[in-house]
Amino acid sequence: MDIPNRNAPLGVFDSGVGGLTVVKALRKLLPKESIVYLGDTARVPYGSKSPDTIRQFAMEDTQFLVSKGVKAVVVACNTATAHALPLLEATFRVPVIGVLEPGVEATLEDDQCSRVGVIGTEGTIRSHAYQHMLALRRPDVRIHAISTPLLVPFVEAGWLKHDSLKLVLETYLNPLLDKGIDTLVLGCTHYPLLIPVLRKVLGPSVRLVDSASTCATQVSRRLKEEGLLSTGRRKPSLDLYLTDLSEQAEELARRFLGAETRKIQRARLS
């Protein structure tokens, strides 16, 4: 097996622009790494698609990144991780890292956690991936998972301070609070943008596990283990590709990256 070039870029893909929360966390934790990001905005959302379709899309996304010469691929999509990660790992020679396992590890770092809530897309929750991994490692933990399909549209519309968002969150989360959860796993890379309002709804006693930051930590650890941390002296690059260059998608990409802006290119998948 060929050893990837440690100074090659990281590849990151998501069904849309939500994975840019992972990119932002990676750039903060690994400032020397160049990144190629692919957002499949022409086919978003993945959460409502069948498992076979999700696997097909994930294969095409990964192949695109590999064609760009990346040294590793980060699957910054919970739904794609849940349904396609083993296939991607078996198919491609570069390391492939998903977002689920880092989230599970971070959840169980706290020995005191006993009741865990998980929120995500329909596809992620229906896969039972989080539920299975949590139960396998800590059979004593009670797990309550619900799909929260209205949250992604709120994020993409930029309604992060809208009164109706708080109402929707209360409707979703009050049943989990009634069950006494002490930890909430954010099982979608869009959801870190909701953390300020989530803290207001949940109160100080519920710990939040953010899939973006936990994934970045896992990527850092994996690159170190594989001897793939960049040693390059050039300024790291950030190349952004979307499969649909709508005005909304470009604005969303800039919102997810914060103050940092980049030219966005059109990606054509085979």
Q: Residue 148 half-sphere exposure, CB side, CA atoms within 13 Å?
A: 31
CA distance 46 to 186: 17
- E strand segments, 188-253: 207-210, 238-242
Which residue of the set 145, 185, 188, 202 is catalytic? 188
**Torsion angle, CA of 151/56/33/242, rounded to 10 degrees?**
-60
Strand ranges, E, within the chain: 10-14, 35-39, 72-75, 96-98, 115-120, 142-147, 183-187, 207-210, 238-242, 264-266
Task: Determine the Cα–Cα distance for residues 17 and 14; give it in Å rounded to an integer.
Answer: 7
Write down the catalytic residue from 44, 77, 104, 209.
Answer: 77
Active site residue 188: yes
**Can you tell me the distance from the alpha carbon of 174 to that of 153, in angstroms, rounded to the nearest whole number?**
20
All residues at 6 or more sequence positions from 25 whose CB lies less than 8 Å from its CB, including other chains: 212, 213, 215, 216
Pairing state between β 238-242 and 35-39? parallel
Q: In the block, which residue shows the tokens 């739904």?
A: 79
Are 243 and 41 contacting, i.e. CB atoms less than 8 angstroms apart?
yes
Residues forming the active site: 77, 188
